[in-house]
Amino acid sequence: QKEVEQDPGPLSVPEGAIVSLNCTYSNSAFQYFMWYRQYSRKGPELLMYTYSSGNKEDGRFTAQVDKSSKYISLFIRDSQPSDSATYLCAMSADNQGGKLIFGQGTELSVKP
Amino acid sequence: NAGVMQNPRHLVRRRGQEARLRCSPMKGHSHVYWYRQLPEEGLKFMVYLQKENIIDESGMPKERFSAEFPKEGPSILRIQQVVRGDSAAYFCASSPGTVLEQYFGPGTRLTVT
């Protein structure tokens, strides 16, 4: 079993839709949670990060962490064609010295 | 503030040759991480370095791979005697010191022929 599971998609939605992206994990020691966006043949771009549980909002993006369920989510409101990319969740724990464990990534396509 | 820089962006090597990948972290960042992305796979951690020190190399293959981050100059990921299975995108990330803020470079795409 992988430490971090993420549905690879592809996920296709119409422009303006609310997108929900999710990851589950097995390591209860994870405390740091990040979401990255990666366009084709580019480097991952840090979107949001949270420490421990709770919600965090930044513009059209909201990140949620539910440690009791070992489940994290990224919501994108009013999705745009420019949001079409692969979204990667990443996690780490205090005893992992900065090493990020990534999900496989979900490919998102927002259709005009 | 320039982002993380990696060069070359594309590198072609024949089997048995050496590959050297360079990474210059963001200004003010003293922590460097290398990750590898194989086709159809996610990003996998390879090594974590601070200036002149390897902090964690648990993701590095035991043979042929090495990394350094000297006092002056970029971090180098070195792959000796490359094989076809080394073909991948190699990404460098830098951080000011917190695991939450790792910023990635554009990557080096290594092709072994």
Residue B42's pLDDT is 84
- Amino acid at position A49, single letter: Y
Enumerate the residues of chain B whose CB falls inside 8 A of the CB of residue A90. 43
On the question of pLDDT at A97 being above 60, the answer is: yes
| Chain mean pLDDT for chain B | 94
On the question of pLDDT at A1 being above 90, the answer is: no
User: Which residues of A make CB contacts under 8 Å with B?
Assistant: 6, 32, 34, 36, 41-46, 49, 51, 88, 90, 92, 96-105
The separation between CA A69 and the C-alpha centre of its own chain, rounded to angstroms, equals: 16
Does the beta-carbon distance from A104 to B104 stay under 8 Å? no
pLDDT digits (tens, 9 = 90+) for A31-87: 999 999 999 999 999 999 998 888 999 999 999 999 999 999 999 999 999 999 999
pLDDT digits (tens, 9 = 90+) for B3-32: 999 999 999 999 999 999 999 999 989 999
Does the beta-carbon distance from B43 to A102 stay under 8 Å? yes
pLDDT digits (tens, 9 = 90+) for B60-101: 999 999 999 999 999 999 999 999 999 999 999 999 887 778
> Which of B41, B56, B106 is nearest residue A43 as measured by Cβ atoms?
B106
Enumerate the residues of chain B whose CB falls inside 8 A of the CB of residue A104. 41-42
The separation between CA B71 and the C-alpha centre of its own chain, rounded to angstroms, equals: 17
**3-class SS letters over A35-80:** EEEECCCCCCEEEEEEECCEEEEECCEEEEEECCCCEEEEEECCCC
